[in-house]
Amino acid sequence: MVLLEATDVVAGYGQTEILHGVSIFVDQGEVVTIIGPNGCGKSTLMKAIVGMVRVRTGSVSFQGTDISGYPPERIVRTGLCYVPQTSNVFPSLTIRENLEMGAFLRKDDYRGRIGQMFDLFPDLAAHPGRKAGSLSGGQRQMLAIARALMLDPVMLLLDEPSAGLSPAMMQTVFDRIREINESGVALLLVEQNARDALGMSDRGYILVAGEKRLEDTGKDLLNNPEVASLYLGG
């Protein structure tokens, strides 16, 4: 069952067109990764999906509803949450306060959900009163993901979740992403660490110069010699 579908999306900034008719889809429960060179439009596509960049032509549908033109706050209410690469936590607030901010749309008692996030991310549970601004890069990334999960989303969009992390912390973040997916949440990733991301993905897309260049299963993209040479370090 198709959960998210972007069809012939054209988008950009000001007079500059970045995406030239990109189409992708994510089925329910899938992990899908978008890879490609810097500046090819990966993050712009993410932002167009969640309403942060206007879709000039084409459409985006989620759970069968056309959400093109929805503002970001309305898209969040549909069960689609986005974690940007940077500026993704409130540095002056504590870990717990960040999670509380993530629950801003909930009308029920969200304290149990905070407990679930602490179970999923033990590093955060160790010091819930610590200011987010004092966290390591990996801890911040885990907090950003946990904050998005406070709304029990159907799908998460993660932009470069492993960027700037040590190998050990990168592995921890990827392990948590797998657990999140196993709980039933679909994921769309933009990721420079293409080998590990494709290794846990059902499918993947390659974007080049604002256009979809290739689509295949994660396994087949990993085994594609051209993809390996250009994007996986040989």
CB 74 within 8 A of CB 128: no
d(Cα 216, Cα 27) in Å, to the nearest integer? 14
- For the whole model, what pTM was predicted? 0.93
Task: Say yes or no to pLDDT of 232 above 80.
Answer: no
CB 148 within 8 A of CB 105: no
- Give φ, ψ of 175 to 5 degrees: -60, -40
Residue 164 carries which side chain, given as an amino acid letter?
G
Residue of 200 and 108 predicted with greater confidence = 200
Model pLDDT, residue 119: 96
CB 180 within 8 A of CB 187: yes
Domain holding 57, by residue range, is 2-231
Question: In CATH, what number is assigned to the domain containing residue 51?
Answer: 3.40.50.300
d(Cα 25, Cα 32) in Å, to the nearest integer? 9
C-alpha distances out from residue 81 to 75, 223, 230, Å: 8, 31, 30
Condensed to tens digits (0 to 9), the pLDDT of residues 2-49 reads: 999 999 999 999 999 999 999 999 999 999 999 999 899 999 999 999
C-alpha distances out from residue 34 to 206, 208, 217, Å: 6, 11, 12
d(Cα 111, Cα 103) in Å, to the nearest integer? 9
Report which listed range, 53-67, 157-171, 189-203, is most confident: 53-67
CA-based angle 19:149:39, to the nearest 5? 20
Strands (DSSP E) along the chain, which ranges? 2-13, 16-27, 31-35, 55-62, 65-66, 80-83, 155-159, 186-190, 203-208, 211-217
pLDDT band at 234 (very low <50, low <70, confident <90, very high): low
pLDDT band at 233 (very low <50, low <70, confident <90, very high): low
Segment 113-141 mean pLDDT: 95
Beta bridge partners of 118: none
Measured on CA atoms in the order 133, 139, 141, 145, is the torsion positive or negative?
Answer: negative
Segment 114-140 mean pLDDT: 95
Residue 137: CB partners within 8 Å, gap ≥ 6?
164, 165, 169
Task: Say yes or no to pLDDT of 108 above 90.
Answer: no
Domains held by the chain: number: 1
